[in-house]
Amino acid sequence: MLFLVTRVPGAFDGQAVLRYLEERPVLIEVTLRRIFDVDGTSGASLAQRDAACVEGRRMDDFVIPESIRRGHWTVDFVGDGIALLSRDQAPHLARWFTGLAAQVARVSRER
């Protein structure tokens, strides 16, 4: 999954990543969902990937919230994934999940 979001064309531009994923919906429904199944590790995590991206173009502040807005995922699905994986994480990963939760809360309020 991490390979997918770091190696697609334009990998560090959330709009390019989302466009690539939407052209291949199975990646959203199968592969990308794994972000909530697999713990990140030092050197291989979405937190590290997003640290290399411009704000507003990351997975946590664009791709995942926009996936909810566009109906690929639900607020509940992402919220459940955050609750499941945010426990017992290293501090930098816990911060990433906290930031993602704040983004998902914004999307939820928009509805």
- Predicted confidence (pLDDT) per residue in 5-54, tens digit: 888 888 889 999 999 999 999 999 999 999 888 777 777 788 889 999 99
Domain limits of the chain? 9-110
Is the pLDDT confidence value at 84 over 90? no
Q: What pLDDT, on the 0 to 100 scale, is given for residue 88? A: 78
Interval 62-83: pLDDT, tens: 999 999 999 999 999 999 999 9
Burial category of 62 from C-beta neighbours within 10 Å (exposed 0-12, middle 13-18, buried 19 and up): buried
44: helix, strand or coil: strand
Q: What pLDDT, on the 0 to 100 scale, is given for residue 94? A: 86
The confidence band for 2, taking pLDDT boundaries of 50, 70 and 90, is confident
Give the long-range contacts of residues 28-35, CB within 8 A, separation 24 or more.
28/67, 28/72, 28/73, 29/72, 31/1, 31/4, 32/1, 32/4, 32/5, 32/67, 34/1, 35/1, 35/59, 35/81, 35/85
Q: What pLDDT, on the 0 to 100 scale, is given for residue 1? A: 76
What does the pLDDT average to over 99-106?
96
Structure tokens at 40: 């990140």
